[in-house]
Amino acid sequence: MRRKNIFLLFALSLFTAGAFAGGDDPVIIEIKKYKFIPDDITVKVGTTIRWVNLEKRQYHSVWFREAGDPVSDYFFPDESYERTFNEPGVFPYVCEPHEKDSNMIGVVRVVE
Ligand SMILES: [Cu+2]
């Protein structure tokens, strides 16, 4: 019984490693102390990025204004925002309420 459990754990860890290498999981950008971490990222076409708000109280937004996206909703601690990038290019974005006073900006570079 115990040996079976160990095998199961081993198989599970292999599966997790494979999924990670395949690039199917969203890429995470953390939001902490009015900063996108990292604020400059390069990903492959087809990648989904998930911005996760790790503040204690503060809401933020992720708005791709130059790409023509509608104004984004604010999201609160432990909430997140996702966007998938299906075209190569350079995509700057801002946190709408904190763009000017906290210079809260970032860029996603999408390559083939
Ligand atoms: Cu913000």
What domains does the chain contain, in order, with CATH numbers? 24-111 (2.60.40.420)
* CA 59 to centroid of ligand 1, rounded, Å: 6
C-alpha 104 to ligand 1 mean position (Å): 6
Number of C-beta neighbours around residue 107 at 10 A: 14
- What's the 61 CA to ligand 1 centre distance in angstroms? 6
Q: How far apart are CA 95 and CA 29, in angstroms?
A: 13
**pLDDT band at residue 13 using 50, 70 and 90 as cut-offs:** very low
Tell me, what's the pLDDT at 4?
54
Q: What is the pLDDT of residues 24-74, one digit of tens each?
A: 689 999 999 999 999 999 999 999 999 999 999 999 999 999 999 998 889
CA of 97 to the centre of ligand 1 (A): 6
pTM for the whole thing?
Answer: 0.78
What is the number of helices (H) and of strands (E) in the chain? 2, 7
Rounded mean pLDDT, 78-104 = 96
Cα(90) to centroid(ligand 1), Å: 21
> Residue 109 Cα, ligand 1 centroid: separation in angstroms?
21
